[in-house]
Structure 1
Amino acid sequence: MPFMPIGPCCLEGNTLPGEPAGVVEAATDGNPVARYHAMPKDGNVVDSKTALVLFYDAFGLGIPNPKIMADEFAEKLRINVFVPDYIPNPPPPKSLDAISESYPGEYAKKSWFRTILDYGSAIVHLVPYVRGLLNGAVMPLASKACEQLKKEGYENLGAIGYCRGGSVIVHLMSKGDASLLKCGVICHPSPEGKELYEAITLPTQWHLASHDMRFKDPQIAELRQVVEKKSDVITEITVHPDTVHGFAARPNLKNESAKAGFEKANEDAVAFFNKHLLSSA
């Protein structure tokens, strides 16, 4: 069954169709990180001690995609899914649209003058938000979000992250602390370095773009080199053809390769969590 069947009438750029069905839980003294909570439509979960944490990209909850995807994961896995609001003061969702292709070659015919203007505009608009995207601000909130779920009685946590959220999972899993996370799925993150990859000892699934301006062929080769030396650690790596950074979370639904990559990555994630999160609960 497809992760999220999308018909031609639903195609609206990189915004997924549908309306979020979960609830937003505000930050409190007891729970310092606000979050979106999704659960199966009928309210019945297969394991009340197991949950999935979804870390979205640098633009936070500005578009409905992370909530809609959390709803889908909750329905497919039959568990509670949480999307922490872990990025303080995220930039506007479309800040980089003018300089980030949604499929390979989308801006190939753009003039150099237009390109310079677009990059200059993006930099100016992003400057006020840089501090909120740094690890010093992000990682403590990401960790607290998981720790809070543990305090609430969730004994088994899996995590899936996209773009900035994928990098967050690399950092969390490189600590080698199986008491926090059981496994993780990492989708088109920024490259974080060989040392962190080597430190990951938990089951991990990677979904990378074939034309990522951040995670390029040399970085993919470095990751594969590390993984090949760790035969005792379950690791899956898929490079999705004709895709760019962001395809698994904010796909251009009018582009067949982007749409196919989105479906494949998230379908594989469901299978991965069924095997390494739910079976180990």
Structure 2
Amino acid sequence: MTSDCCKSGFAWNGTPTGTETKVAGINTYVTGDSKSAAIFMIHDIFGWTFNNLRVLADHFAKEADATVYLPDFFGGEVIPEETLTNPELKAKVNIGAFLGRHNKAIRYPEMVAVAKELKSKYPKVGGTGYCYGGWALFKLGADPELIDAVSVSHPSLLDKSEIDALKVPVQINAPETDGQLTPELKEYVNKVIPTLNIPYEYVYYPGLVHGFATRANLNDKRQKDGLERAKNATANFLKEFLH
């Protein structure tokens, strides 16, 4: 995954209302006060401090009636938000090297540790992931002991074996143009997941591109409408399986 789509988009205004804590020893943004349901949110390459994601987490806490946890799976490394609008900064970000430092073998055990801690505290735990976080939620979704339902938006780094292994309800928010969720992978998920005997929802966003659900241009009506539709779809899907 070395394409520019993963480091392009827009930053949003809005002040997150949550706090920072640790889960399984990992720095985590937390928002909401539900005792019955949690949402495990896994970030894109802009990481756990990305304002857009924290604002989304606040929405999900209210709209899905859950406590939302957004941990840091980049070990303190942050791609600055300014990268979105600064071509010089964008040019300096080597996506391949970055993902090498935070590959599945290194980061997935941390994600399992967080999932186990959340499951020990809440009767129900759902998950949502964006871009980089997408593959992670699919892997977690192979084990109902770790998570109860997952919603992913424009997932990256997805292997067919991770699709085959799903065992919990799954939702995919899929833009029309996506170098990661390719036409071949779109065809694959829609062929395979309906055979897995799990609830499945595929939501398609015409005219939109990879990253729209976290980095949409709010001054563009189509992007703004797509973002809101994806936010609502994720909140409604998780709420259905958490309550």
Query: TM tier, shorter chain?
Result: 0.7 to 0.9
Alignment of 1:91 onto 2:57 = no
Alignment of 1:37 onto 2:30 = yes
With over 3 angstroms needed to count, the CA separation of the structure-2 counterparts of 1:70 and 1:91, relative to structure 1, is same
Matched residue count: 234
**What TM-score, normalized by structure 1, do the two folds share?**
0.76
Counterparts of 1:170-209 in structure 2 under 5 Å? 170-174=138-142, 177-209=143-175
Residue 43 of structure 2 aligns with an amino acid whose one-letter code is Y
**What TM-score, normalized by structure 2, do the two folds share?**
0.87
Q: In the alignment, which residue of structure 2 is the partner of 1:110?
A: none
Superposed CA RMSD: 2.4
Alignment of 1:82 onto 2:69 = yes
Maintained 8 Å contact 2:133/2:156: no
Alignment of 1:162 onto 2:145 = no
Q: In the alignment, which residue of structure 2 is the partner of 1:138?
A: 107
SS at match of 1:34: strand
Q: In the alignment, which residue of structure 1 is the partner of 2:44?
A: 57
Maintained 8 Å contact 1:159/1:183: yes
4+ residue runs over 4 A deviation: 94-99, 125-128
Whichever structure has more helix as a proportion of its residues is 2
Deviation at 1:217, TM superposition (A): 1.3
Structure 1 unaligned runs (5+)? 1-12, 100-116
Structure 2 unaligned runs (5+)? 1-8
2: distance between equivalents of 1:73 and 1:277?
Answer: 12
SS at match of 2:17: coil
Q: In the alignment, which residue of structure 2 is the partner of 1:17?
A: 13
With over 3 angstroms needed to count, the CA separation of the structure-2 counterparts of 1:260 and 1:275, relative to structure 1, is same
Q: In the alignment, which residue of structure 2 is the partner of 1:3?
A: none
Larger Rg: 1
1: distance between equivalents of 2:111 and 2:163?
Answer: 19
Residue deviations 1:219-277, cap 9 Å, x none? 211111112333x2111111211111111111121222221111111101111122111
2: distance between equivalents of 1:226 and 1:265?
Answer: 23
Deviation at 1:26, TM superposition (A): 4.2
Maintained 8 Å contact 2:194/2:200: no
Sequence identity percentage: 24
Whichever structure has more strand as a proportion of its residues is 2
Q: In the alignment, which residue of structure 1 is the partner of 2:5?
A: none
2: distance between equivalents of 1:163 and 1:257?
Answer: 20
